[in-house]
Amino acid sequence: MQAAATPPDSTEGTDAYRPIHAASLADPEGFWLNAAAALDWETAPSRAFDPEAGAYGRWFPDATLNACHNAVDRHVAMGRGEQAAILYDSPVTGTKRTISYAALRDEVATLAGILSLLGVEKGDRVVIYMPMIPEALFGMLACARLGAVHSVVFGGFAANELAIRITDAAPKVVLAASCGIEPSRIVPYKPLLDAAIAASPHKPEACLILQRPQAEAGLVEGRDRDWAETVARAKAAGISADCVPVAATDPLYILYTSGTTGKPKGVVRDTGGYCVALSWSMPNLYDVKPGEVYFCASDIGWVVGHSYIVYAPLLHGCTTVLYEGKPVGTPDAGALWRVAVEYGVACLFTAPTALRAIKKDDPRAELVASYDLSGFRSLFLAGERADPDSVAWAERALDRPVIDHWWQTETGWAIAGNPVGVGMLPVKHGSACVPMPGYDLAVLDEAGKPLPPDTMGTIALRLPLPPGCLPTLWGSDERFRQSYLTTYPGWYDTSDAGIVDADGYVTVLGRTDDIINVAGHRLSTGGMEAVLAAHPDVAECAVIGIRDALKGEQPCGFVVLKSGVSRDTAEIERELVASIRERIGPVAAFKLALTVARLPKTRSGKILRGTMKKIADGEAWTTPPTIDDAAVLDEIGESLKGRGIGG
């Protein structure tokens, strides 16, 4: 089935979806208590919500459970012990490994026993600084088993950024690997970890280091322990740990996201609400059944990896794919399709930036066509705006639904999406579809008043937020309120701009910072990017607003061309300017399109538009710690200087 073929006036999905969403808002107690029945509870919840607790209320306030038990042990008890829990596929090392639920339980119980011997107890923090390897998942689940709070830091993060997180989380133990492996280089982690600990006033009591053969690390006597040796001794001694029940409101993990003050914000994820929300999402949003294979091509350092590499698939009794590779270059743009076919993947979840990279290298979808994807049902996208041209390309290439959906680190799961398991709604390219249960969404003006359909403003969520969303920031309730709850009292400010159309479809146009003011007209850079991305020669693009003395801001578009395009770039740039003028109008005052070799991105694939704007405006800027390749920022600067901009 092809998503674009769904009749625009189809009501099958709408008829199923609307009463579900309405019920979640009209009777949240009944809706979420019913959803909670999918889990095993030590103490079952008697009520879903306490409006008097926390900053806006807390979910399942009188219940207790253990996330590791629900993700691992209960499946073994139900007879799924021999089913594959994790399929590890590492093209960068040439390694493949299948880990059953029974084997996963044993590995996690042993590691939890080791952490317990190292003094880790319920409520203690453990920082995990590891690449995409099974031991990283063992570490996350071992913390959950003990009721400890894990904080995963993307492997290879700069020492200063890691130090800030160690200082804030104050971990008792750090779990790390000696190195990460990129397609063209080895990234030693241990020197970064040592420098971070030296720079932090907080000193963890122990570090457990997994030695990878590609780059072994020196160990600090008295603090560091060799992972393999420690685990081997523990297994020989029969050391393990049982699951420790925790309050549903207790934190499961802290995940740091960038803060505007320069200090990262530690997003707290509570245990019960998160497990309930993820369990609901697997069959209803993604249409995946227990026992099926789910492939989230992300990284455990990001929220997508936490939710849909680790917790959601395992909570639902699925097999999750752990992929240590890239969408292109390991070895080619067919890498994700190879994994999907080899393991019988039912649903693939990746980022729009990965899809654009695949389309750039395989514009005619020849590699897609070389794989038998008959068992593959759907492709979900999130992380950046999914431009309509790339979605349409994937629909044609895959002949399957391609579903854009939108969420944030703070929410932990989708704010808006197409509930394929409930009944797929008609696809509108450029839209993230409709709000998920529990999300009461509106577009507000600057005074906080809801705007009519198809009017751009700030997307806000009426409090309370549904289960799974952050209850606060780690150690900073007041910062949580100031960051999210004070701009529009009674609402959570997403800091994303967008519209909701007459059918209730949500279109996210970018961060509110990405709305530019051109001669008094508020314009979306996302709308301009959609026009540029539709050009047949463009692989990906970004639009920023450059300071202009006369108009306030002037839009500037950066485009990366598809592989094999040999046309004159000046001609392509003229066509792009004409396209904006035709599709958006002269009001956009779009006169500058720059062809560049690549765009600066974070390791999660987000384009660094804010840093690009600082370069263009001639402001002081620093290299963000999350960037994948810092040299690209200098290349952007040189491109702008060539047009007399920045400097």
Q: Where are the alpha helices (DSSP H) in 250-289?
A: 271-284
pLDDT at 384: 78
pLDDT at 520: 59
459-476 pLDDT tens trace: 999 999 999 999 999 999
pLDDT over 70 (residue 13)? no
504-536 pLDDT tens trace: 999 998 777 666 767 656 677 877 888 899 999
pLDDT over 70 (residue 632)? yes
180-195 pLDDT tens trace: 998 888 999 999 999 9
Classify domain 519-641 at the CATH topology level: GMP Synthetase; Chain A, domain 3 (3.30.300)
Which helix (H) or strand (E) segment holds residue 543: the answer is strand 538-548
pLDDT at 513: 66
526-571 pLDDT tens trace: 778 888 999 999 999 999 989 887 777 889 999 999 999 999 999 9
pLDDT at 521: 63
Q: Mean pLDDT in the chain?
A: 92
The band of 4, judged by pLDDT with boundaries at 50, 70 and 90, is very low
The mean-pLDDT minimum among 421-435, 567-581, 627-641 falls in 627-641
pLDDT at 74: 98
pLDDT at 511: 75
**Could you tell me if 285 and 421 are in contact, meaning their C-beta atoms sit under 8 angstroms apart?**
yes
For 334-347, what is the mean pLDDT? 98
Closest alpha carbon to 115 in 105, 103, 127: 127
What is the distance between the terminal CA atoms of the chain, rounded to a whole angstrom? 51
171-225 pLDDT tens trace: 999 999 999 998 888 999 999 999 999 999 999 999 999 999 999 999 999 999 9
For 615-641, what is the mean pLDDT? 85
pLDDT at 157: 80
Q: What are phi and psi of 408, to 5 degrees?
A: -135, 160
The band of 647, judged by pLDDT with boundaries at 50, 70 and 90, is low
CA 328 to chain centre: 19
The mean-pLDDT minimum among 257-271, 355-369, 391-405 falls in 257-271
* Position with higher pLDDT, 15 vs 104: 104
- Token look-up 């509870």 returns 41
275-311 pLDDT tens trace: 999 999 999 999 999 999 999 999 999 999 999 999 9
Cβ-proximal residues to 334 (8 Å cutoff; 6+ apart), any chain: 362, 367, 368, 370, 371
Reduce the DSSP state of residue 512 to 3 states and report it: helix
For 44-54, what is the mean pLDDT? 97
pLDDT at 514: 67
For 82-102, what is the mean pLDDT? 98
For 429-446, what is the mean pLDDT? 96
pLDDT over 90 (residue 125)? yes
Q: What is the DSSP string of 201-227?
A: S---SEEEEE-BTTB-----TTTEEEH
264 secondary structure, DSSP code: P
74 secondary structure, DSSP code: H
pLDDT at 283: 98
The mean-pLDDT minimum among 338-347, 418-427, 465-474, 633-642 falls in 633-642
Cβ-proximal residues to 9 (8 Å cutoff; 6+ apart), any chain: 426
Dihedral sign for Cα atoms in the order 627, 630, 634, 636: negative
306-333 pLDDT tens trace: 999 999 999 999 999 999 999 999 999 9
363-386 pLDDT tens trace: 999 999 999 999 999 999 998 778
59-75 pLDDT tens trace: 999 999 999 999 999 99
- pLDDT over 90, % of the chain: 79
From residue 345, alpha-carbon distances to 87, 173, 291, 425 in Å are 11, 35, 11, 22
Domain boundary assignment for the chain? 519-641
Q: Cβ-count burial of 598 within 10 angstroms (0-12 exposed, 13-18 middle, 19+ buried)?
A: middle
The band of 9, judged by pLDDT with boundaries at 50, 70 and 90, is very low
Write the Ramachandran bin of 329: left for phi over 0, alpha for psi from -120 to 50, otherwise beta.
Answer: left
pLDDT at 31: 98
Q: What HEC string does 103-145 produce?
A: HHHHHHHHHHHHHHHCCCCCCCEEEEECCCCHHHHHHHHHHHH
Cβ-proximal residues to 618 (8 Å cutoff; 6+ apart), any chain: 646, 647
325 secondary structure, DSSP code: S
From residue 111, alpha-carbon distances to 117, 227, 232, 234, 352 in Å are 10, 9, 10, 8, 36
Burial 155-164, CB ≥16 within 10 A → b, else e: bbbbbebbbb
The band of 6, judged by pLDDT with boundaries at 50, 70 and 90, is very low
Reduce the DSSP state of residue 370 to 3 states and report it: coil
Is it true that the peptide bond before 331 is cis, omega within 30 degrees of 0? yes
582-623 pLDDT tens trace: 887 777 788 899 999 999 988 767 788 888 988 999 888 888
From residue 351, alpha-carbon distances to 234, 411, 593 in Å are 39, 17, 25
